[in-house]
Structure 1
Amino acid sequence: MMRVFSTVSGQIEQIDKPEPGSWLCLSNPSDVELANVSQSAGIDLADLRAPLDDEERSRVDVEDAYTMIIVDIPTVEERGGRDWYETIPLSIIVTEDLIITVCIQDTNLLHPFMEGSIRGFNTYMKSRFILQVLYRNATTYLRYLRFIDKESDKLELKLRHSMQNREIVMLLELSKTLVYFATSLKSNEIVLEKLTSLERIRQYPDDEDLLGDVITENKQAIEMANIYSGVLSGMTDAFASIVSNNVSNVMRIFTIISITLSIPTLIFSMYGMNFQNGMFGMPLTGKPWGFAAIVIVSMVLSVVVTWFLTRSRLFK
């Protein structure tokens, strides 16, 4: 999908075709759209296709007619009723007349720019637009990291009494997401460092503070990702042991119940062998109150064994 936006009388408006000073947004573009943009803007088709590869690395490429900046951005995908976080590449290509963004999907990162809700956004100010996108990207990482932290807290409460592996698997997924986030943020940091010394991207006087804010937010996101990753790693190991202990506690209860029930089972089994005559006759079989006595004796022995087992070190 190809959309074109331009600042008209201080407002962001969608226009029909690109013009000098406009922003061309390509979201999951078709081959025809890529070929048309490549021909009209003088951009190598391979560079336009680069961000459509999930494994594309963050970098800055300076060509004769344009400059291409690729960064990793966070995204959310819903699968099985849950939100799964991952990163995808976003390309920002700056030419003499246009600024072009290319992404494999219609990302929410750029929607506020399309809606004109970003303060100070102007399609004619290309370097500021780049910094504003990078700043929003860093703050989006921070917001998703907080969501991941809250999700891990919910899983922690469930894992206290869990005997299944489902919650641990979800913790592992969150740990994997944090590793991806940390790797992408470090790659973006290299891009930011290169932008500070890139002369082709002309910066406006007010952009120095914005660039500093972008670098600060990105570093904070890196630190948060590393901290959360370490916490989740330790939490996963700890709760794997907790799940194992919970299963052991259940097996302990089942073992005590099994041993307790085996006592009356053994007694009643012996009385069912029909040794009623001779020297092998079973005790109390000829008494009218014999059955009640045997039941009481069985219950007493069961209670004594249960009391002993619950206090034994082998079952604690």
Structure 2
Amino acid sequence: MLKIYQTKDQQLTREDNFVEGCWICMTAPTQDEIRKVATSLDIEPADLQAALDAEESARISLEDGYTLILVDIPSQEKGSGEGVYTTIPLGILLTQQMIVTVCSVETPVLADFAACRVRGFSTRKKMRFVYQILYRAASIYQLELRLIDRRRQAIEMNLSGTLRDKDLMELHRLESTLVYFATSLRANNTVMDRLTRYKRLEQYPDDRELLDDVIVELRQAIEMTSIYRDDIKGTRELFSAILDNRLNNAMKYLTSVTLIMAVPTVISGLYGMNVNAESMPFVSSGSAFGIVCGIILLVCAGAAWVLHKKHML
């Protein structure tokens, strides 16, 4: 999909053709759209297609007549639960007169710009537009990180109840998401460091202040990712400790029950032996069976009391 925008009198309008100061927004573009933009703006088609490769890493490249900036942005995985995300590339190409964005999916990073909900947004101020996009991406990272942490807290609240395999799998997916975030944020931070050093990109004082804000937000997102990864690691270890403790308690309980059940087995086994009847206690008594059963109950009760005092039953 190819859309062309331009700001006029602080209003965002759609254009049919490429004009000076416009924003070309490409979302999952076709090969025909890529060739059209590449031919019109004298851009290498491979640079436009780079943002469509999920394995492409964040980078900045200065080419003849244009600049390519690739950053990673968060994207929720389809069919996954809340808080499960991956990262995808977002390409930003700066020419002398226009700015081009390329992404494989519709993303909230650009949605607010297309809806003209960003204050001070202008398609003619290209570097400021780039920094606003990067600031929006860093803010979305922080928003998604908070959602991930809230989901982890919800899983942790279930620890006192029944531990489900589904919770463990979801915790693993959240941890995988944070791994993707940490890798992408570090790569984006490298791009931001290079942007501060490149003199070819014209920057105004207000743009420089916005760039500093982007760097602060990005580093905060990196720190949040590190903290939340440690939190999930602690929750996972707590899961393992609780499971081990419950298993130990179950084994202690079963061992205690086995010891108690061994008492009637031993006594009944002795009385069931093929020996001289006169040598067995209570054989001559008419209530021998009741006496033996009473002894068994007393011994079992005594064993249960001892095990209970030792916190094994």
TM-score normalised to structure 1 length? 0.87
Q: Which shows bigger deviation, 92-101 or 171-180?
A: 171-180
Q: Is the CA contact 2:58–2:188 (under 8 Å) kept in the aligned structure 1?
A: yes
Q: 3-state SS of the aligned residue for 1:109? A: helix
Instruction: Identify the residue that residue 278 of structure 2 maps to in structure 1.
Output: 279
Instruction: Identify the residue that residue 199 of structure 1 maps to in structure 2.
Output: 199
Task: Give the gaps of 5 or more residues in structure 2.
Answer: none
Q: Which shows bigger deviation, 257-266 or 178-187?
A: 257-266
Q: 3-state SS of the aligned residue for 2:306? A: helix
1:254 positional shift: 2.6
Q: 3-state SS of the aligned residue for 2:307? A: helix
Instruction: Identify the residue that residue 233 of structure 1 maps to in structure 2.
Output: 233
Q: 3-state SS of the aligned residue for 1:206? A: helix
Q: Is the CA contact 2:94–2:100 (under 8 Å) kept in the aligned structure 1?
A: yes
Q: Given the alignment of the two structures, is residue 222 of structure 1 paired with residue 222 of structure 2, yes or no? A: yes
Kindly provide the CA deviation profile for residues 45-85 of structure 1, in whole angstroms up to 9, marking residues without a partner as x: 11111111112111111111211100111122243544412
1:165 positional shift: 5.0
Q: Given the alignment of the two structures, is residue 257 of structure 1 paired with residue 257 of structure 2, yes or no? A: yes
Q: Is the CA contact 1:163–1:244 (under 8 Å) kept in the aligned structure 2?
A: no
Instruction: Identify the residue that residue 45 of structure 2 maps to in structure 1.
Output: 45
Instruction: Identify the residue that residue 209 of structure 1 maps to in structure 2.
Output: 209
Q: 3-state SS of the aligned residue for 2:189? A: helix
Distance change (3 Å), C-alpha of 1:280 and 1:222: same
Instruction: Identify the residue that residue 92 of structure 1 maps to in structure 2.
Output: 92
| Code of the aligned partner of 1:311 | K
| Code of the aligned partner of 2:150 | K
| Code of the aligned partner of 1:256 | S
Q: Is the CA contact 1:72–1:89 (under 8 Å) kept in the aligned structure 2?
A: yes
Q: 1: distance between equivalents of 2:70 and 2:81?
A: 31
Q: Is the CA contact 2:83–2:174 (under 8 Å) kept in the aligned structure 1?
A: no
Q: 2: distance between equivalents of 1:298 and 1:182?
A: 65
Q: 3-state SS of the aligned residue for 2:204? A: coil
% identical equivalent positions:
36
Q: 2: distance between equivalents of 1:11 and 1:164?
A: 52
1:97 positional shift: 2.5
Distance change (3 Å), C-alpha of 1:152 and 1:137: same
Q: Given the alignment of the two structures, is residue 138 of structure 1 paired with residue 138 of structure 2, yes or no? A: yes
Q: 1: distance between equivalents of 2:211 and 2:129?
A: 11
1:87 positional shift: 1.1
Q: Is the CA contact 1:99–1:126 (under 8 Å) kept in the aligned structure 2?
A: yes
In the comparison of the two structures, how many residue pairs are matched? 313
1:145 positional shift: 1.5
Q: 2: distance between equivalents of 1:197 and 1:81?
A: 40
1:118 positional shift: 0.7
| Code of the aligned partner of 1:211 | L
| Code of the aligned partner of 2:153 | D
1:186 positional shift: 1.5
Q: Is the CA contact 1:275–1:281 (under 8 Å) kept in the aligned structure 2?
A: no
Instruction: Identify the residue that residue 104 of structure 2 maps to in structure 1.
Output: 104
Q: Is the CA contact 1:163–1:247 (under 8 Å) kept in the aligned structure 2?
A: no
Q: Is the CA contact 1:57–1:70 (under 8 Å) kept in the aligned structure 2?
A: yes
TM-score normalised to structure 2 length? 0.88
Q: 1: distance between equivalents of 2:134 and 2:34?
A: 24
Pairwise CA RMSD: 2.7
Q: 1: distance between equivalents of 2:295 and 2:164?
A: 40
Q: Which shows bigger deviation, 25-34 or 295-304?
A: 295-304
